[in-house]
Amino acid sequence: MNNTPIDRRIAREAANWYVRLQNSNACAAEHAAGAEWRARHADHERAWQLAEQFCGRAQQLAARAERAALERPRGLERRQVLKTLAMLIAAAPLGLAAHRGLPWREWQADERTAAGEQRTLDLPDGVQIRLNTGSAVDIAYDDSVRRIRLIAGEMLFEVPHMTAGPPFIVDTAEARIVLFGNRLMVRQYPQRTYLAALDGTAVVRPRLLPGEEGMMRLAAGRQTYVNNQAVEYSMTLAHNRLDWLAGVLRAEKMRLDDFITELDRYRPGLLRCDPAVAGLLISGTFQLRDTDQILQALSQTLPVSVLYRTPYWVTVTPRRNA
């Protein structure tokens, strides 16, 4: 196998051709031109083959990217797909390992929100899904099945009244949840799922356990965490868990690094906390509509400085001479 890196120009061309030709609207002349480009040089064909490896569901991905290019504000999606695909092709063979950690499933989700965005989805029977920042869901909803898969982020599932028909099912990476009430909140963390039954009850089962093994009924007003093997003992619902619905982030003696990790979800780019100030404690209620204002408040109340390398690369550091 040829492991020589692909020229970046060729990688960009391959990514553009690949996404363009997977679109169902691509004409015969475009396909012929793409085939001619592939045949022009061995590296062209090798770059194309790498693109196919990186995009297991390439047709769906490319079609979404093409559609997104026509829509605002989601037009950035196509550019992000092209940029990332070109980067992986140029980085091969290292890219073959790196692509496994990229959010392909989030890009391909039925519905998504960007950083700082919240949306409400209206489903049949008056059901609503409220998506928090950086969230992605797949929806299978008809007369025979009512299933939502939370791929990333956080959502509130609201049923105005329980109706006859298939049960409401919520799937995450670690859990399968059957809703028997009106309101369920779910958040996908790395390697675990958080859920809270706000009204009514929910039955939750770890995905890797068969049958009813490990199943637990979560009562109204209770919350729990689930991993692939077990459901934790439930606790009373924490009062600040609903704050995001009002666009608020509330902290009560929260470590600064934990606070910054949470705030990072609500702004594009990278927001990081220097380990030297990670253990500082912060309390207060913060309006998420302006994350820069929150960072400014941190610099005024804690011995820290906010370093902007760019508007999208920000680090909270120790204040000089503090």
The closest of 10, 76, 60, 67 to 38, measured between CA atoms, is: 10
CA dihedral 251, 253, 256, 258 (to 10 degrees): -60
Q: Dihedral sign, CA of 41, 43, 45, 47? A: negative
Note if the bond before 73 is cis, omega within 30 degrees. yes
The closest of 273, 193, 177 to 227, measured between CA atoms, is: 193
Q: What is the pLDDT of residues 269-292, one digit of tens each?
A: 889 999 999 999 999 999 999 999
The number of helices, as runs of H, and strands, as runs of E, in the chain is 9, 18
The closest of 127, 120, 130 to 162, measured between CA atoms, is: 127
Q: Dihedral sign, CA of 255, 258, 259, 260? A: positive
The closest of 79, 97, 78 to 88, measured between CA atoms, is: 97
Distance CA 170, CA 127 (A): 13
Distance CA 129, CA 122 (A): 7
The closest of 258, 299, 304, 251 to 277, measured between CA atoms, is: 304
Distance CA 254, CA 282 (A): 5
Which band of pLDDT confidence, cut at 50, 70 and 90, is reported for residue 104? Answer: low
The confidence score (pLDDT) of residue 164 equals 67
Distance CA 149, CA 138 (A): 5
Return all residues near 221 (Cβ < 8 A) that are at least 6 apart. 197, 198, 236, 237
Q: How far is the CA of 255 from the CAs of 208, 224, 277, in angstroms?
A: 33, 22, 9
In CATH, the number for domain 111-239 is: 2.60.120.1440
Q: What is the pLDDT of residues 9-43, one digit of tens each?
A: 888 888 888 888 877 678 888 888 888 898 888 88
pTM beyond 0.85, yes or no: no
Rg, the chain, Cα only: 23
The confidence score (pLDDT) of residue 21 equals 82
Distance CA 141, CA 162 (A): 15
Which band of pLDDT confidence, cut at 50, 70 and 90, is reported for residue 72? Answer: very low
Higher pLDDT, 86 or 61: 86
23: its two tokens: 């679109």
Distance CA 67, CA 25 (A): 11
Q: What is the pLDDT of residues 228-282, one digit of tens each?
A: 889 999 999 998 899 999 999 999 999 999 999 999 999 988 899 999 999 999 9
For the segment(s) 247-318, the CATH number from 3.30.300.130, 3.40.640.10, 3.55.50.30, 1.20.1090.10 is 3.55.50.30
Q: Dihedral sign, CA of 301, 307, 311, 314? A: negative
Distance CA 246, CA 243 (A): 5
> Tokens 């797949």 sit at which residue?
138
Domain boundaries, the chain: 8-107, 111-239, 247-318
